[in-house]
């Protein structure tokens, strides 16, 4: 696989750099660009929201015409900020928090504080991703670069009607670029200095005939890593090194090779019929374990609590301490690699057919296929001593089909009706070995039970929306979605017995827990829901629109497929309840001063029932899913843009979000060592009297800052005949929030500011461009997840005090170290682009 990947840059260059094609298209592109500049009087890089077409309601309308709170990033903005994936847009969207997962699967994403947690294999995300009309509910999609995009729309709040599946937190909709009417090609190479990442991108697009067109896009990147890796094995005494620990050999992480390919074919055989087929392939190969994305970010006793403590390994500084997995452990499982690894392949195919019965009635079919496979190994000890080594496999295969019938009547009444179907097959397995400190040789390593499970999910829904123009200025829309969903665990295999002759092997007979007569849980769950929506819009004149909506949203419950370390034998597969939301939003969108100023405002108030939240089991070393009984999310969003006609090429923008997101009723798992006096005094154990839960009612939701804001500007100007220069600068502010899964007292993220900037030199006809793009110049690695470190901390819910120092004396209980997952730090990229 690696050989073919390394050939990709040369294939891109050969494909796009064809002299004949370049000569043919250069004149066409230049003429088109010059014509556009003459007609508009300024470059198309400055784009008003008045001009951006969105599909938030599955009808083509401008962002200012849509009564939906949304952030839109068109192709010009994506290019300006060097956006290569969903993580890249967090600082551009107030209230959006994304990040990698230090666990085995997926990532984290939340909007207005509503999210579904980290590293959970089988759950749908509260904020779902939609790519070219295909809903992707798994967080695995966050681990794939997204290139050659036409537009990203971030829709905030519940979205029940228009994106395939009901989404209670919002939608991030990505639309890839399509074929062009004339031949165009582009090649771009870039270098990011901190991670030493070299990349090359290319695309070619144009007509095949007057009825067909194509587009090919490719991306390849090779990264050395942006997290420094330290392996001070000189700190390990030779007399206390039973595993002959070897230095990592990595100087940085992640060492990554990434390949992305997309092909598009459009065909319009007759005027009434149009068809589009898109296929995407992404391959990512990472050297280094997924746990390396996280680090020890707090030590209550100054140094990490481990066999070989490294004093500096207790802060969020972009540096981790790691060593190789011992050879004796590698021999136990062929999937394990010395430094850990992640190999991922994802395929997405979408087919869209649109047929116009007449100018007033059209039928749309969207068919999707998505497959993700991932293989992982990692040394999750967060230090030199091997203490938590795991191998995980994950597979997700889904097929979706949506049909929509929509009207475009000239009268006051219009409608859209449709149906949606999804079938998903999921698989994951987990292997964990814990080399024991007391054992000088690995034959006494402790292997946790091997667990593997398959799950099938099937979803049907029908939806409808009816629009009626009460007057020329007032419109009402009524709609709703009915959903029926089933989720079935088809098997849950576990191996618990280990033999040690001549080496430790999980040798017990595989047992399907579900087939045991004593199995205590359900194997199939069924859910139904109806989510209505009503919106009233009032447009007194062309440049002002008021709107008010009542919305409901829903996300089904299910089985999370989390690893249980054998607890499934007595507790069954972990299940969780559906999440429901209802509430109101109202606001206005305005264009002022002859469309020089855009000013929008939205107020919202939503009540969530059984909000799905992340949990972490330190004994099983895995994330799970639970429910918070009641939560409330309310707030105010402001957005403004200024395009002064007196200064062509200048754009100023700002946005702000006040968000009060809190639990109204939630009794949650206690954190390690939390005493009764510190709040762990509910659901007491009848035998020991120890508390089991803490009352988080009134606390902010995780990753829900009360205030976020952005402010920035862009300016471009000619500096010589045919030569342009542009500058951009943006600031992003986030208030404080708690990122800890169990709301530990040490997991409070302070407020922070991130700064982005860019400078470009480019031809007036856009034939070439040189760009220097800097993101997060302030180098703030805000933390997005925090868990108690396995093997540290003591029992919770007792009357014992927390130790002020170690070793523990006088009956005190030691506090736990905290493992945190930060976002990426500063990046500075140099890019060179040629367009033909």
pLDDT in tens, 612-658: 888 887 776 778 888 888 999 999 999 999 999 999 999 999 999 99
- Backbone φ, ψ for residue 543 (5° rounding): -100, 15
Quick one: pLDDT at residue 624?
80
675-718 confidence digits (pLDDT tens): 999 999 999 999 999 999 999 999 999 999 999 999 999 999 99
Quick one: pLDDT at residue 37?
36
- The CA distances from residue 345 to 3, 372, 436, in Å, are 16, 6, 34
pLDDT of 15 above 70: no
Quick one: pLDDT at residue 719?
95
pLDDT of 94 above 90: no
551-582 confidence digits (pLDDT tens): 999 999 999 888 888 888 888 888 899 999 99
Running DSSP on this structure, what letter comes out for residue 741? T
Q: How many Å apart are CA 674 and CA 688, to the nearest integer?
A: 16
SS3 76: helix
Side-chain-facing half-sphere of 617: CA atoms under 13 Å: 16
Least confident of 121-135, 181-195, 427-441, 471-485: 427-441
Given a contact cutoff of 8 angstroms between Cβ atoms, the answer to whether 91 and 754 are in contact is yes
Q: How many Å apart are CA 731 and CA 753, to the nearest integer?
A: 7
pLDDT of 77 above 60: yes
Q: How many Å apart are CA 106 and CA 293, to the nearest integer?
A: 12
Structure-token match 């500063």, residue found: 826
Residue range 8-36: mean pLDDT, rounded? 38
Given a contact cutoff of 8 angstroms between Cβ atoms, the answer to whether 602 and 634 are in contact is no
pLDDT of 771 above 70: yes
Q: How many Å apart are CA 74 and CA 152, to the nearest integer?
A: 6
How many other C-beta atoms are found inside a 10 Å radius of the C-beta of residue 275?
Answer: 16
Quick one: pLDDT at residue 201?
96
Both tokens assigned to 389: 């080594």
Mean pLDDT across the chain, nearest whole number?
87
Quick one: pLDDT at residue 294?
92
Q: How many Å apart are CA 465 and CA 444, to the nearest integer?
A: 64
This prediction has a pTM of 0.89
pLDDT of 591 above 50: yes
Structure-token match 């870039």, residue found: 190
Q: How many Å apart are CA 531 and CA 452, to the nearest integer?
A: 35
pLDDT of 108 above 80: no
Given a contact cutoff of 8 angstroms between Cβ atoms, the answer to whether 254 and 292 are in contact is yes
Report the largest interatomic distance among the alpha carbons of the chain, rounded to a whole angstrom. Answer: 87
Closest-CA residue to 450 (of 428, 426, 427, 430): 430
Given a contact cutoff of 8 angstroms between Cβ atoms, the answer to whether 172 and 437 are in contact is no
Given a contact cutoff of 8 angstroms between Cβ atoms, the answer to whether 536 and 548 are in contact is yes
Quick one: pLDDT at residue 6?
46
Which H or E run includes 290? none
Least confident of 170-179, 305-314, 390-399, 661-670: 305-314
Contact partners, residue 209, CB within 8 Å, separation at least 6: none
Q: What percent of the chain has pLDDT over 90?
A: 63
What secondary structure does DSSP assign to 343-400, as a single string? EEEEEEEEEEEEEEEETTEEEEEEEEEEEEEEEEEEETTSSSS---EEEEEEEEEEEE
Residue range 190-202: mean pLDDT, rounded? 96
Helix (H), strand (E) counts: the chain: 5, 48
Omega prior to 254 cis, within 30 of 0: yes
Q: How many Å apart are CA 104 and CA 801, to the nearest integer?
A: 34
121-179 confidence digits (pLDDT tens): 788 888 888 999 999 887 777 777 678 899 999 999 999 888 777 789 899 999 999 99
Structure-token match 């030779």, residue found: 238
Contact partners, residue 213, CB within 8 Å, separation at least 6: 178, 179, 180, 181, 205, 206, 207, 265, 266
Closest-CA residue to 335 (of 104, 92, 101): 104
Both tokens assigned to 125: 């995300």
- The CA distances from residue 35 to 40, 79, 393, 726, in Å, are 9, 22, 54, 21
CA angle at 568 for the pair 566 and 569, rounded to the nearest 5°? 80
Cα 669 versus chain centre, distance: 25
Given a contact cutoff of 8 angstroms between Cβ atoms, the answer to whether 537 and 474 are in contact is yes
The strand pair at 227-230 and 319-321 is best described as parallel
Q: How many Å apart are CA 412 and CA 468, to the nearest integer?
A: 5
pLDDT of 389 above 50: yes
Both tokens assigned to 528: 């139904």
SS3 content of the chain, % helix, strand, coil (to 5): 10, 55, 40
Q: How many Å apart are CA 352 and CA 819, to the nearest integer?
A: 44
pLDDT of 34 above 50: no
Given a contact cutoff of 8 angstroms between Cβ atoms, the answer to whether 782 and 735 are in contact is no
Closest-CA residue to 504 (of 565, 445, 461): 445
SS3 645: coil
Structure-token match 């139904």, residue found: 528
Terminal Cα-to-Cα distance of the chain (whole angstroms): 31
Structure-token match 């999910």, residue found: 457
Residue range 497-521: mean pLDDT, rounded? 69
Closest-CA residue to 318 (of 691, 823, 718): 823
Beta bridge partners of 97: 110
Q: How many Å apart are CA 321 and CA 313, to the nearest integer?
A: 7
Q: How many Å apart are CA 457 and CA 123, to the nearest integer?
A: 10
Omega prior to 502 cis, within 30 of 0: yes
């Amino acid at each position: 696989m690696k050989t073919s990947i390394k050939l990709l840059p040369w294939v891109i260059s050969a494909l796009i750099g064809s002299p004949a094609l370049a000569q043919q298209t250069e004149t066409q592109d230049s003429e088109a660009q010059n014509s556009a500049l003459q007609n508009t009087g300024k470059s198309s890089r400055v784009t008003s929201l008045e001009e951006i077409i969105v599909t938030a309601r599955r009808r083509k309308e401008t962002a200012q015409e849509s009564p939906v709170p949304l952030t839109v990033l068109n192709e010009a903005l994506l290019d300006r900020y060097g956006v290569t994936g969903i993580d890249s847009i967090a600082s551009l969207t107030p209230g959006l928090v994304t990040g990698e997962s230090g666990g085995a699967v997926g990532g984290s994403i939340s909007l207005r504080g509503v999210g579904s947690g980290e590293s959970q294999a089988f759950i749908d995300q509260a904020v779902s991703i939609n790519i070219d009309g295909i809903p992707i509910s798994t967080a695995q999609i966050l681990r794939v670069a997204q290139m050659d995009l036409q537009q990203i729309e971030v829709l905030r709040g519940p979205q029940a009607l228009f994106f395939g599946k009901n989404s209670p937190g919002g939608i991030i909709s990505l639309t890839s670029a399509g074929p062009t009417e004339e031949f165009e090609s582009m090649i771009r190479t870039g270098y990011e200095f901190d991670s030493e990442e070299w990349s090359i991108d290319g695309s070619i697009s144009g007509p095949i005939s007057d009825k067909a067109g194509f587009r090919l896009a490719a991306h390849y990147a090779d990264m050395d890593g942006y997290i420094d890796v330290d392996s001070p094995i000189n700190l390990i005494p030779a007399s206390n090194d039973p595993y002959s620990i070897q230095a990592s050999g990595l100087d940085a992480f992640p060492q990554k090779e990434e390949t992305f390919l997309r092909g598009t074919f459009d065909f319009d055989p007759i005027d009434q019929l149009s068809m589009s087929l898109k296929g995407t392939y992404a391959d990512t190969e990472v050297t280094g374990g997924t746990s390396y994305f996280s680090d020890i970010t707090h030590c209550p006793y100054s140094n990490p609590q481990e066999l070989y403590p490294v004093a500096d390994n207790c802060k969020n500084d972009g540096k981790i301490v790691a060593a190789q997995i011992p050879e004796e452990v590698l021999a136990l499982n062929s999937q394990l690699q010395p430094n850990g690894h992640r190999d991922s392949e994802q395929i997405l195919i979408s087919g869209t057919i649109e047929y116009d019965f007449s100018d007033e009635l059209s039928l749309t079919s969207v068919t999707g296929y998505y497959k993700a496979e991932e293989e992982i190994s990692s040394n999750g000890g967060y230090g030199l001593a091997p203490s938590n080594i795991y191998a995980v496999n994950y597979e997700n295969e889904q097929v979706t089909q949506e049909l929509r019938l929509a009207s475009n009547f000239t009268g006051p009444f219009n409608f859209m009706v449709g149906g949606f179907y999804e079938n998903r097959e999921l698989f994951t397995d987990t292997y964990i070995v814990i080399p024991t400190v007391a054992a000088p040789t690995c034959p006494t390593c402790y292997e946790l039970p091997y667990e593997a499970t398959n799950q099938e999910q099937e979803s049907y829904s029908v939806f409808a929306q009816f629009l009626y123009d009460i007057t020329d200025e007032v419109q009402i829309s009524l709609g709703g979605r009915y959903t029926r969903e089933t989720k079935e665990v088809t098997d849950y295999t576990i191996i618990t017995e280990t033999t040690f002759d001549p080496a430790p092997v999980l040798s017990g007979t595989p047992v399907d827990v579900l087939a045991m007569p004593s199995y205590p849980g359900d194997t199939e769950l069924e859910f139904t829901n109806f989510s209505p929506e009503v919106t009233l819009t009032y447009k007194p004149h062309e440049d002002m629109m008021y709107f008010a909506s009542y919305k409901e949203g829903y996300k089904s419950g299910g089985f999370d497929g989390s690893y249980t370390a054998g607890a499934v034998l007595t507790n069954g597969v972990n299940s969780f309840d559906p999440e429901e939301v209802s509430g109101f939003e109202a606001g206005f969108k305005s264009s002022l001063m002859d469309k020089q100023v855009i000013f929008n405002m939205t107020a919202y108030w939503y009540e969530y029932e059984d909000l799905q939240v992340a949990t972490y089991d330190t004994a099983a070393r895995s994330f799970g899913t639970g429910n918070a009984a009641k939560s409330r999310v309310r707030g105010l969003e402001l957005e403004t843009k200024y395009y002064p006609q007196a200064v062509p090429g200048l754009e100023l923008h700002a946005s702000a979000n006040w968000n009060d997101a809190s639990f109204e009723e939630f009794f949650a798992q206690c954190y390690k060592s939390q005493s009764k006096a510190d709040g762990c005094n509910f659901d007491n154990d009848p035998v020991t009297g120890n508390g089991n839960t803490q009352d988080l009612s009134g606390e902010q939701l995780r990753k829900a800052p009360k205030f976020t804001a952005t402010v920035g500007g862009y300016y471009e100007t000619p500096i010589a005949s045919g030569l342009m220069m542009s500058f951009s600068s943006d600031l992003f502010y986030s208030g404080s929030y708690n990122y800890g899964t169990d709301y530990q007292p040490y997991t409070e993220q302070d407020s922070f500011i991130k700064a982005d900037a860019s400078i470009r030199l480019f031809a007036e006809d856009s034939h070439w461009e040189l760009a220097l793009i800097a993101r997060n110049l302030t180098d703030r690695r805000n933390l997005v997840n925090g868990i108690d470190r396995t093997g540290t901390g003591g029992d919770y819910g007792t009357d014992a005090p927390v130790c002020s120092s170690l070793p523990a004396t006088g009956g005190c209980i030691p506090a736990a170290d905290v493992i945190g997952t930060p976002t990426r730090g500063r990046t500075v990229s140099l890019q060179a682009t040629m367009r033909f």
